[in-house]
Amino acid sequence: MTTVAIESLFDDSRFPSGIKLLPLILYFPLGCVLAVIRIFIGIHVFLISCVLPKTSDIRSLVLRMMCTILGVVVKCQDWHNRKNTAKVIVGNNISTLDRLAVDLVIPSTMPSMWDLPPGLNWILGYTDMGVKEGRNKLIQNAQKHCQEASIPIMALPEAASTNARVGLLKFSIWPFSLGQSVQPIVITASRPVIPVLVSVLGGRWWLDTFWFLFSPFTLFTIRILPVEDKLIDEPEEEFSQRIQKLIAEKLKVAPTKHTSADKVEYAKRKLFIQHQAVIPQNSAYMRRVSGIGPTSARLNISSSKPNVNNQTEVMAHQVQEVLPHIPLEVITQDLGVTNDVDLTISNILEGKVKIPQKTPQKIQDPSLVPSKVKTFSKSPKERQMSFQERKLLMLAEAKTKYLENHGQSNS
């Protein structure tokens, strides 16, 4: 299989840039009104799909007309390749509404990949085939369905959407383990009027659905390919790869070894990198620290901290400027949980962070430090006062240490 960078399989932004964004801005008010109206029409479409038999020609005709009003236009190509004997239909995955688009052309059912109540599965058009009990149970129930039911099983073996412009994700092998002929289909979608992509990395299903209702229309093209049978002694893995390659050739993209799990990991990694790139300035924290005690002394962090690239290390050195007696590894560990300078300082001062025992430092100016409470009081009020005194003590120690390091005297 061709080596393709995983980031090229997905789009980061749903919208165009530059002058191409102008039509979308002008259309936006109308699109919002259209989306609201279509939501109410969609309720009627949903009721029709529940009432009419799934194999009924009237149902298919009415649903296609209603979905056209909702902005989902489906065009079918090469219908002559469709064989009713093929009980398994597999296609690529590009959007949230792929199953709806295929169902309008070829009435079918999909195994529910979620642990949903039976009634909800029926409403959404899914069939509970025991996915939660494992792959073997899924295959067993799917085989039974193929033998007894008149409608085929629809499968999207990529298990995650791509932009279908560069490559396809690796196919899951369960649809090719049913001992049935497979009908491959190629799914593409476009929005000629408003250039808003049908799916993006990290997009939510309800947002994708909103943009379907918002756009004037989305054109789905379902291209039906000839039926493929598993060859004698052909492993199921190779069968799935052969179908993946066939669909990829029709899309003029590359089959890849990337899986849906790889997409999830890539999305997490990208989100983390974007988060790390935004380094907070902590201006409010700097203003508060500069006013501690009778003397106002603003910290010059840029001149005192080492050159570090990691945001956590930067924040750790900021905390250590205020609390220099706290080990850097202790500060870093708490920042890994809080990711906030102020909160970590508060956790340390309030005793929520476990600090290794070390010899306490002497305070040069005892007048700044309240006397310590050495006994544990039975009164809650007295215990609260003891806590405040300890907090003031640590603040005074931190301030004194800071003034020593910067060559200033305490007034």
Spans of the chain below 70 pLDDT: 1-2, 114-125, 272-310, 322, 350, 357-393, 395-396, 399-411
CA 238 → CA 168, 171, 257, distances in Å?
A: 16, 10, 13
List, in order, residues 6 or more apart from 82 with CB less than 8 Å away: 106, 183, 224
> Rounded distance, CA 146 to CA 176, Å?
13
Q: Per-residue pLDDT tens for 55-64?
A: 777 878 888 8
Q: What is the pairing mode between strands 88-91 and 182-190?
A: parallel
User: The tokens of 266 are what?
Assistant: 């890539």
Question: Bridge partners of 168?
Answer: 255
pLDDT of residue 1: 60
Residue 389 token pair: 């005194």
Is the pTM for the entire model greater than 0.75?
no
pLDDT of res. 115: 60
Q: Which of 285, 303, 289, 282 is nearest to 405 (CA)?
A: 303
> Hey, is 172 helix, strand or coil?
coil
- Residue 20 one-letter amino acid: K
Question: If residue 41 lies in a helix (H) or strand (E), which one and from where to where?
Answer: helix 22-51
Residue 266 to residue 90: CA distance in whole angstroms: 25
- Which residue bears the tokens 């259309």? 27
Instruction: Copy the structure tokens of residue 284.
Output: 């409010």
DSSP 175: G
Note the pLDDT tens digit of each residue in 259-297. 988 898 888 887 766 665 554 444 444 444 444 443 333
Give the bridge partners for 110, in sequence order.
Answer: 126
Rounded-to-integer distance, Cα 142 and Cα 105, Å: 21
Say if residue 278 is exposed, middle or buried (CB neighbours under 10 Å; 0-12, 13-18, 19+). exposed
